[in-house]
Chains A and B, each alone.
Chain A
Amino acid sequence: MIEVRALTKSFDDNTVLTDVSLSIAHGEVVGVIGPSGSGKSTLLRCINHLEQPDSGDIVIDGEVAYKDARGRSLSAAKIAETRGSVGMVFQHFYLFPHMTVLQNVCSGPRFVTKTDRRDYEQKAGELLERVGLSEKAHQYPEQLSGGQQQRVAIARALAMEPRAMLFDEPTSALDPELVGDVLAVMRTLADAGMTMVIVTHEMGFVRQVADRVLFMDEGRIVEDGTPEALFDRPQQERTRAFLSSILSHTGEAPLEQGAGK
């Protein structure tokens, strides 16, 4: 459903992604782990065209996205259309501070697809219920905790009825006690069959929820496998080094880390 073909991206002299290829099946939940600066977030941002790759293609549902047949960039309107079909959740939520929670969730259908107001307001209400925040509908983001804001951000992305969801370190900016609620929402989403790509440091969550884990380092996918294979029997030396450095500073095994939540 999402295919990444030979993606390369650099910022000035710094190469962030080197020839990254990857194929994600419909309904698959993919965890992306790796040290900071390894290109995980950039990969995600390229899938949604928030970054323009230097070379390579993003293919969504069999069609090359963001480019025409000759490889030229599509119009801003066409790019926006494709972006709207893939939801994205950011580390720092980026809720619109001048809109209420309900208005945030409605913003996609209201300003992009322009569906009927009663329809999208009703749907936004249902989504808020799903993330457990119905009673916050008329408050402003600044009145919510980080965990609540992130759940609103997830609802806002879901309101566009995306074909897939991209999560860019969704819990990294949260106080530890707020992480669980956000992960619970993501888990129900995964259980409901949503295609998801999750960049995260929550190893326990990845182990429990992901069908597949990618380990990235220095702009490349170093290892790609099931959570069991990657966490328990890492094939690459770099993967082992990364996992052991994580385990040594948390002092916990990945499974237990997530099981408590």
Chain B
Amino acid sequence: MLTKRVIPCLDVHDGKVTRGVQFGRAEDGGLRNVGDPVELALRYNQQGADEMVFFDITASAHGRASMVDVIERTAAQCFMPLTVGGGIRSVEDMRTMLQAGADKISINSSALTHPELITAGAERFGSQCIVVSIDAKRTRPGFWEVHSHGGRKATGLDAVEWAVRAYHLGAGEIVLNSIDADGTKAGYDCVVTRLVSESVGVPVVASGGAGNLDHMAEVLLEGKADAVLAASVFHYGQYTVAQVKAHLATKGIPVRPEQLAHP
């Protein structure tokens, strides 16, 4: 049986892992440095993380160069799937990250301004490589509006509709991040996660709002997510990946057990 994935996310700013309190604060200096990305990646690797996501929140040329270095060093030591996002604007940017050792590329604002980038990436590298990340904010009952540029710019688009369109354009996976929930530790938005998950034919990763172990179980069960992504709960040592998996298993959710080979 395919297991549900637990994915730590590392927000990288100039080669260091940082964590903003809520969306949009990154540029206001509201960032806390929580360590070296490669060191953290190795720790999560040992804890049994199923994948890892690196997010370049600088999204500048300089930030991208240091991200390439982070990915190269991580890929040489962590033998698990790695996703890179933030500031990817072209097929060439994608190729750079894949050659550095990334397995998947996550695009967000650039997919909104240039939806054809989804298709171009999927045609060149395969759909499984192209992740479309969506920042959604509930602006009225039953309506989740897509935001771009790190959650600062409202687009007027319906998050579910955009997810379906991204899927048809060739996205192989959708990351759905709830802006309302992000950084609040009040739980994932199960409602919109479920709406998206039931509308697209590809896996959906829930992001934003993980505060405790039950939140993760909820979004996998009620939200029908295929994976959970979280940052703070892992970085600050609140939980280990292993603790998350143990809890999910008690709820009957299939997770990958820790396994060692002895060839």
Q: Does chain A bind chain B? A: no
